[in-house]
Structure 1
Amino acid sequence: MFSKNGYTLELATSEAAVGSNVPLQFRILDSAGTPLIRYADTHDKQLHLIVVGLDLTGFQHVHPELDEYGNWYVSVDFDHSGGYRVFVDFTPDGGDGITLSADVRVAGLYEPRPLPAAATATTVDGYTVSIEGAAHAGQTSKLTLSVSRDGIPVTDVESYLAAYGHLVALRASDLAYLHVHPDGHPGDGVTPAGPAITFYANMPSAEDYRLFLDFKHDGVVRTAEFTLTADSATTPVSEHAHYAHHGH
């Protein structure tokens, strides 16, 4: 079972076939085994679902629909065989935020792809996203991601999930899920709408991490992907990562 703080993620099935728009159904159970039906909104949604291959490819961030019985429904893409990790990020009504995870096995021959090398810039759909700021293990690191298109800074990034960007960070070695916090928010009178989007992240150990930035421009949400290497801190390393419990 995949439990934390008394809550358990229960997938309807842990096996799937390769395909697009594959139905995924699950429930969040409380400590009594009762489906959770009351959630507090976090970043404009009751629940955020992240899907990524165990080789850190095929990233998706989607928002399932909840029925009155506590069943969640969504469609995701399983574009290659092998294992995928499913993360659910939510806040029970009146409670604290929780991240749970479970694995789905997708039938077929698994040929994992190597982790891309660490880089300070990446491109997606004609946009270039660059990253500034060093990541130090065991410390809060300030990371600034800047968006440009055709060499021109984008200064009208649109609000998405109550922020100018949503950043997911996963440790490459074991897919530990890190909580990353944006700096400021749209409409606060001080946070500009790009090109720079700033986040604070805690990297628990000196190794590689995979970062996924969702940003919205011209009405379309795009995802920029980075590999970032955290270096050894000068202070003792402490485990600041928010771990999502999972099984194999």
Structure 2
Amino acid sequence: MVDILLNHEPKLVKAQDVVKLQLTPVDSEAGDSPLELEQVHTKDVHLIIVSEDLSFFAHVHPQKAGKAYAVEFTFPFGGKFLVYNDIKPLNGSPVVIRKDIEVAGEQRPPQQYSGEVLSGRQGKVSVQLDARDPSAIQVHITQNGNPVPASSLSDYLGAKAHVVILPLESKAYLHVHPMVHQNRLVLHTAFGATGTYRAWLQLLLDEQLYTFDFVLLVKGVSTHTMHH
């Protein structure tokens, strides 16, 4: 079974301090023997770090250091953080392994999500989601009020966008498949349960990386399954 051994220096993780995260992919059924990884979306490891209330999001890429992978990171506040390791063992299947880290320091009141949030803006770039069909969410991007066709986006991690969706209750990592249809970005996924979901969409435009966050209210589930 594939697992991740997660270590950090210093041992006591404090908010606002730089911590070195070290991740070792192992086969837990073979005495935790290290595993080699294949690149997926141009990286060996996609590390998604979120706060327990899903108000904070980060997407980083540890670099190989011997048989492990390492990255420096600064947690913004105290509390419990969820660390999702998105990897693909050599000649194996993709897997997402969650680990938790307790961070010392001042905590923030948990964020509450009372309604749907389908739009976001950063500078002159805006994104609007059309989620009437949750299995094929359409993404409308504008810059200075003008539509941005998907073809004008630079590739980010081998695709036109990177998307992570997490349900507020279970925190189960949901794979999303950004695709381009008629020069528009469409997010294909299959929601397994109704409820409130947090979504983060990252795209590269004019050599600048943008991250937009949303709140989705899913009222129906799909019986279709998507492959990773």
Question: What TM bracket, shorter-length normalisation?
Answer: 0.7 to 0.9
In the alignment, what sits opposite 2:167? 171
Query: Displacement, 1:77?
Result: 2.8
Check whether the contact 1:87–1:101 (CA below 8 A) recurs between aligned residues. Answer: yes
Q: What runs of 5+ residues in structure 1 fail to find an aligned partner?
A: 1-5, 185-189, 243-248
Note if 1:7 corresponds to 2:2.
yes
Q: Could you tell me the percent identity over the aligned residues? A: 27
Note if 1:200 corresponds to 2:188.
yes
Note if 1:97 corresponds to 2:94.
yes
Please give the TM-score of this superposition, normalised by the length of structure 2: 0.88
Structure 1: distance between partners of 2:46 and 2:17: 19
In the alignment, what sits opposite 1:3? none
Change (3 A) 1:54 1:98: same
Please give the TM-score of this superposition, normalised by the length of structure 1: 0.81
Within-5 A mapping of 1:208-227: 208-227=196-215
Question: Equivalent residue of 1:158, what SS?
Answer: coil
The amino acid that maps onto 1:145 is V
Question: Equivalent residue of 1:202, what SS?
Answer: coil
Query: Displacement, 1:105?
Result: 0.6
Q: Which has the higher contact order (CA 8 A, sep 6+)?
A: 1
Structure 1: distance between partners of 2:169 and 2:124: 30
In the alignment, what sits opposite 1:34? 33
Structure 1: distance between partners of 2:114 and 2:62: 30
Structure 1: distance between partners of 2:91 and 2:51: 32
Structure 2: distance between partners of 1:21 and 1:220: 25
Deviation string, structure 1 residues 62-97 (Cα, Å, up to 9, x no partner): 1110122x2111122311111110001111111110
The amino acid that maps onto 2:173 is Y
What is the alpha-carbon root mean square deviation over aligned residues? 2.3
Structure 1: distance between partners of 2:102 and 2:43: 27
Check whether the contact 2:153–2:160 (CA below 8 A) recurs between aligned residues. Answer: yes
Structure 1: distance between partners of 2:42 and 2:203: 15
Structure 1: distance between partners of 2:226 and 2:112: 24
Q: What runs of 5+ residues in structure 2 fail to find an aligned partner?
A: none
In the alignment, what sits opposite 1:113? 111
Note if 1:60 corresponds to 2:58.
yes
More deviation, 9-18/147-156: 9-18
Question: Equivalent residue of 1:19, what SS?
Answer: coil
Which aligned segments of 4 or more residues in structure 1 are displaced greater than 6 angstroms?
none
Matched length? 220
Check whether the contact 1:10–1:27 (CA below 8 A) recurs between aligned residues. Answer: yes
Check whether the contact 1:142–1:199 (CA below 8 A) recurs between aligned residues. Answer: yes
Match of 1:129 among 127, 130, 151: 127
Note if 1:150 corresponds to 2:149.
no
